[in-house]
Amino acid sequence: MRILIVGDMVGSPGRAAFARVVGQMRQKGEVDFVVANAENAAGGRGITGPLAREILDAGADVITLGDHAWDQKDLVTFIEKEPRVLRPANSAPGCPGRGWISVDTPGGRVTVLSVVGRVFMAPHFDCPFRTVDQVLKPDAGLGKVIIVDIHAEATSEKIALGRHLDGRVSAVVGTHTHVQTSDETILPKGTAYLTDLGMTGPHDGVLGRELAPVLKRFITGLPSPFDVATGDVRLEGLLVTVDAETGRAQKVKRVRERVEK
Ligand SMILES: [Fe+2]
Ligand SMILES: [Fe+2]
């Protein structure tokens, strides 16, 4: 089973790149299942219900989010109606929605689990390590193929979670930094790993935003709106080939597709 996992999708350039690249891959039969992080899909801030529908229609099987999950307030009600959109599983008790889902596909069951890190992140998230242990109980019926999105700032925390889950899940991939790392690997017990998938969106500014207002904020501290950048649009992520019988990763291929205008 070939599973494409896509890094943080930013604004309309990111959504267009996702639709184009994933549409082509689906058409050519190059991918069986697609997970997309879309926490910045709505102009860089969160995601709305209609945009989630658009991304699912464009080829995502499951959408993961992160610390920007609630930036658009309509998601609070929408997420209760759409289980394919995940908020972090270690969100505080009382948050709507779910942090994992099992999807039955022609190739077998695929479970996607989303957690947020705690190093340099908001303090209201519970421990991601204890959360994954609670969710991944052997009798939970999640199937063999399990993908974990660790949405976190610190590389150490992501690597530690990858090692913690080695042999228990098919892939652990990082999101949130918007900068793709080059450490894709299959860990000793068969789990695919990449510290950060990168960003699906415009790369000519700063993490998907236009350069000038970000620079102004750094230099002067004065507020200015951060619009989504426009140039050097790419889809970034990881393509993992998984043995559906065992859940073990067989192959990892880092993806960086430039999308011409
Ligand atoms: Fe992000
Ligand atoms: Fe984030």
| Local confidence band at 80 (pLDDT 50, 70, 90 cut-offs) | very high
Mean pLDDT of 140-153: 98
40 Cα: distance to centroid of ligand 1 (angstroms): 5
Give the closest ligand to the alpha carbon of residue 8: 1
Answer yes or no: pTM beyond 0.85.
yes
Give the closest ligand to the alpha carbon of residue 10: 1
Give the closest ligand to the alpha carbon of residue 117: 2
Residue 248 has pLDDT above 80, yes or no: yes
Residues acting as catalytic residues: 68
88 Cα: distance to centroid of ligand 2 (angstroms): 11
| Local confidence band at 260 (pLDDT 50, 70, 90 cut-offs) | confident
Give the closest ligand to the alpha carbon of residue 208: 1
139 Cα: distance to centroid of ligand 2 (angstroms): 31
Rounded Cα distance, 100 and 160, in Å:
20
Rounded Cα distance, 83 and 95, in Å:
14
Say if CB 45 and CB 73 are below 8 A apart.
no
Residue 102 has pLDDT above 80, yes or no: yes
Domain assignments of the chain as residue spans, ordered by start: 2-258
Mean pLDDT of 47-76: 98
Show the beta-strand stretches assigned E in the chain.
2-6, 8-9, 33-37, 62-64, 85-86, 100-105, 108-116, 145-151, 171-175, 185-186, 192-194, 199-202, 233-242, 249-258
* Rg of the chain (C-alpha set): 17
108 Cα: distance to centroid of ligand 1 (angstroms): 30
Tell me which architecture the domain covering 2-258 has in CATH.
Answer: 4-Layer Sandwich (3.60)
- CA triple 25-31-32, angle to 5 deg: 140
7 Cα: distance to centroid of ligand 1 (angstroms): 8
Q: Which residues surround ligand 1, an ion (CB under 5 A)?
A: 8, 39-40
Tokens matching residue 116: 């947020």
8 Cα: distance to centroid of ligand 1 (angstroms): 5
Q: Where are the alpha helices (DSSP H) in the chain?
A: 11-27, 49-57, 75-81, 128-135, 155-165, 211-220
